[in-house]
Amino acid sequence: MKLKAIIRGDKVHEVGYRFFLFTKSMELGCQGFFARNQSEGIKQLVLALIEGNQQQLAEFKEFVQATKPEGSNVEDIAFEDYSGSIMSTDAFMHYFTADQLNKGIPALLRIDSKQDRTDIPD
């Protein structure tokens, strides 16, 4: 079984929502998971796709409705059946790690360039 969760709000990006949902999918033993941030006008969205058995999806839905990451501001949560493909949880872990590293590279480059300017010759 597959499920799409759509989480809307003023602050659902940059609060760890995707990893928060992924961690729960791993705890539940789900086979597939994918999540991405999107925008809808001025609203932020987290779109999560999850694959598991009926009990796993019911527990995931209950978790999403009852628990939110600290710092988030959620206005609406919707669920839809989903029939497309969903990457495995292992594949998502690799995808997510690469995505996070990619976000960090510009910051590391800025730090490195500032370090070069603050080096004092002997």
CB-based contacts of 39, cutoff 8 Å, min separation 6? 45
Cα–Cα dist 77/6, whole Å: 6
What mean pLDDT is predicted for residues 91-115?
Answer: 84
- Both tokens of residue 102? 């990619």
The pLDDT confidence band at residue 111, using thresholds 50, 70 and 90, is: confident
pLDDT at res. 102: 84
List, for residues 32-77, the tens digit of each pLDDT value.
Answer: 999 999 999 999 999 999 999 999 999 999 999 999 999 999 999 9
Q: What is the mean pLDDT of the chain?
A: 92
Q: Where are the alpha helices (DSSP H) in the chain?
A: 17-28, 54-66, 89-118
Instruction: Inform me whether the pLDDT recorded for 7 exceeds 70.
Output: yes
| DSSP state at residue 31 | S
Cβ count within 10 A of residue 72: 19
**Residue pointed to by tokens 């872990």:** 93
Domains, the chain, in order of start with CATH, read 2-118 (3.30.70.100)
pTM over 0.95: no
What mean pLDDT is predicted for residues 93-107?
Answer: 86
